Structure 1
Amino acid sequence: MSRAETKNELLDAAKTFFAASFDGIVKLNPDDDAALWVNGFKSPPEISYTAPEKSEPDCVWHGASETLQQALFSVRSFESAYISGRVTVSGDMSVLARIANTEEN
């Protein structure tokens, strides 16, 4: 898979995963590509390659692009990737709980 395809698939996965607002800013920081910013204060969340006005993320998720893409399949997939160490998280972990609550509704 080319780098451009992986980048587009990560963007598509993020649009699906972050479908509802969650009152936070997440920075997806792939090891091998440009970061994606998710502004969960907007409804629907705004996803872009540039930082929102509040440029400090509440939470940063690190991993390979393909790993992050797979982790964004569902909250359970993300938790599995995190527990196995394929994705690391820095910052406010409660952001994931707020995202999980929106996924259940």
Structure 2
Amino acid sequence: MNSDQNNEECLVEQLRKELHSLKAEKERDGIKLILEKEEMEIAKKEEELKHFRARVQLRREKIQKYVIFYPLVVTLSGIVNNIDHFLVVNSHT
């Protein structure tokens, strides 16, 4: 009977170890899943940042063109206004 009891105790201990091992494995798998989700989120944010930087660069280029050409447009507009004024003044004479 003592032998049967020892066998049962060994079996119970073995089952406890297996249960502990399974719990540890489940926890590792859960951590892996969390890490994978975090890595996917980071990749998504990096992609969003890449697109944001591209949009900022396009805006910067538009602003640079505006800064370069706006004074020219204003100058040309002034010249056109002066010509119009000159034509109006000279048409009355």
Same fold (TM over 0.5): no
Indicate the TM-score class for this superposition, using the shorter chain for normalisation: under 0.3
**TM-score under structure 1 normalisation?**
0.20
Higher relative contact order (CA 8 A, sep 6+): 1
